């Protein structure tokens, strides 16, 4: 990882962008639910203009339309992100009716704040279940399976609800090219929200100092097997 000169962002030259893995599963789940139940799906993101590519990717999977909140390139913390998304969701619900389900990734791959979905659920007054690996519609409720250390915990909540999901929920499809081509013309509604002063304010980023692991070589090839066994014995597992 290389940081920008002012150490407030990652140097993204030569890097490709993609949707967070948890979120991609959320998109796939939304597409599957609409395929099975009729209806409409919307994908929304807060990000720079280039983020429209990820919206097009989501629409290539089958999402009907997109809302793009332009972040003007600045850093938005979890609370500010949730506030902006909330406003966009409220406006959309007023215009097009309420969402039966809103999916979020459990946490984003980069800043991992764990809070955007939950904040929006509370603001909308809807039940929120997090960390889901399986989602099943049951009439006017939804049955949710959350992965825990010794198996899965099950919740059942009524619609409308907010769910945060994790990778492993499903295997996202590989988008078909006709799907990608159609996605190029699907509607993207652009909003430019005002960024509030963040209460969790980024000062700078830093790379962690040295891994701290010594990388002692035990040898090469099968001849190193006895040395490995010795390490296992010393660790008390053999």
Tokens representing 221 are 């090839």
Query: 91 or 228, CB closer to other proteins?
Result: 228
Q: Report helix, strand or coil for 26.
A: helix
Query: 69 or 118, CB closer to other proteins?
Result: 118
Distance CA 238, CA 231 (A): 9
Taking CB under 8 A as the rule, does residue 139 contact other proteins? Answer: no
Tokens representing 122 are 């509370």
Q: Name which of 85, 75, 59 is nearest 182 in CA terms.
A: 59
Taking CB under 8 A as the rule, does residue 51 contact other proteins? Answer: no
Q: Which of 47, 62, 127, 193 binds other proteins (CB under 8 A)?
A: 127
Stated as kind and residue range, the H or E segment containing 102 is strand 101-105
Q: Which of 62, 131, 160, 193 binds other proteins (CB under 8 A)?
A: 131
Taking CB under 8 A as the rule, does residue 235 contact other proteins? Answer: yes
- In sequence order, which residues have a C-beta less than 8 Å from that of residue 33 and are 6 or more positions away? 39, 41, 101, 137
Which residue do the tokens 């984003």 mark? Answer: 108
Using an 8 Å Cβ cutoff, are 205 and 7 in contact? yes
Contact stretch for other proteins (CB under 8 A) within 39-47, 66-74, 110-118, 188-196: 110-118
Least distance in angstroms from the C-beta of 5 to other proteins: 16
Restricted to residues 174-193, the positions that interact with other proteins (CB under 8 A) are 174-178, 180-182
Q: Which of 21, 186, 188, 191 binds other proteins (CB under 8 A)?
A: 21
**DSSP-assigned letter for residue 222:** G
Taking CB under 8 A as the rule, does residue 140 contact other proteins? Answer: no
Least distance in angstroms from the C-beta of 95 to other proteins: 25
């Amino acid at each position: 990882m290389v940081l920008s000169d002012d150490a407030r962002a990652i140097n993204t030259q030569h890097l490709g962008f993609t949707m967070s893995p948890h979120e991609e599963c959320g998109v796939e789940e939304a597409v599957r639910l609409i395929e099975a139940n009729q209806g409409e799906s919307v994908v929304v993101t807060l990000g720079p203009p280039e983020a429209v590519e990820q919206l097009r990717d989501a629409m290539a999977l089958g999402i009907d339309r997109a809302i793009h909140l332009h972040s003007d390139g600045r850093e938005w913390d979890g609370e500010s992100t949730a506030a902006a998304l909330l406003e966009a969701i409220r406006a959309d619900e007023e215009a097009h009716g309420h969402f039966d389900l809103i999916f979020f990734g459990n946490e984003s791959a980069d800043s991992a704040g764990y809070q955007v979905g939950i904040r929006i659920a509370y603001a909308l007054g809807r039940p929120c279940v997090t960390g889901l690996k399986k989602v099943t519609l049951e009439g006017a409720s939804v049955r949710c399976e959350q992965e825990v250390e010794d198996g899965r915990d099950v919740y059942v909540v009524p619609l409308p609800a907010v769910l945060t999901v994790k990778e492993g929920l499903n295997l996202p499809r590989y988008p078909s090219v006709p799907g990608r081509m159609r996605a190029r013309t699907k509607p993207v509604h652009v909003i430019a929200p005002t960024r509030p002063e963040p209460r969790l304010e980024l000062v700078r980023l830093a790379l962690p100092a040295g891994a701290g692991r010594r990388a002692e070589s035990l040898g090469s090839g099968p001849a190193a097997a006895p040395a490995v066994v010795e390490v296992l014995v010393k660790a008390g597992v053999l």
